[in-house]
Amino acid sequence: MYVVKPGCGHVCAPRKHARRWIAATGAATIDGAFTATFENGYVPTQGTFHDVVTGAGGRSGEFSTVTLPDAPQGDKILLVYDGTRVRMLSTDIADLDLNGIVNTQDFLIYLNWFASGNDLADFNGDGVVNTLDLLVYLNLWADG
């Protein structure tokens, strides 16, 4: 269990007074379950990344089970994996490239999904990709 508290710029380790994410000096191999909660009324702002695990020598693997706190209205919270770390990101639902900001790149990604009929473009969840989804995404993107 990891907790995120006000003033804590990263995901904190579970032990008291050990407010550190896991920072491996070598390679980090990720496995097992990950659970995080917010404490003391902490609410992340859009575009907030919290380091979960960093591996100076690289990162491989992913958590098999992930339980994350509820996102604020209009946002999503998820884990983002890259070559040397795992981060927890709180961002706008319209942020499709998961860089913490909503801009033209996200809109282009959506248009590509939409044009190819990708299920990911089904933003109203009715199982069909059509103009209604484009309007839903457009509204989310515009209020980003």
Could you say which DSSP state residue 12 is in?
Answer: B
* Separation of alpha carbons 79 and 50, rounded Å: 9
Which of the residues 102 through 121 are near Ca ion (CB under 5 A)? 106
Q: Which is nearer to Ca ion, 60 or 124 (CB)?
A: 124
The CA-atom distances, in angstroms, between 8 and each of 17, 77, 111, 133, 138 are 12, 17, 36, 37, 33
- Cβ 143 to Ca ion, closest distance in Å? 14
Of the candidate residues 40, 67, 124, 139, the single one contacting Ca ion (CB under 5 A): 124
Of the candidate residues 133, 137, 140, 141, the single one contacting Ca ion (CB under 5 A): 133
- Cβ 98 to Ca ion, closest distance in Å? 7
126 contributes a contact to Ca ion by CB under 5 A: yes
* Separation of alpha carbons 71 and 38, rounded Å: 10
- Cβ 10 to Ca ion, closest distance in Å? 21
Which of the residues 43 through 102 are near Ca ion (CB under 5 A)? 95, 97, 99
Using CB under 5 A, list all residues that contact Ca ion.
Answer: 95, 97, 99, 106, 122, 124, 126, 128, 133
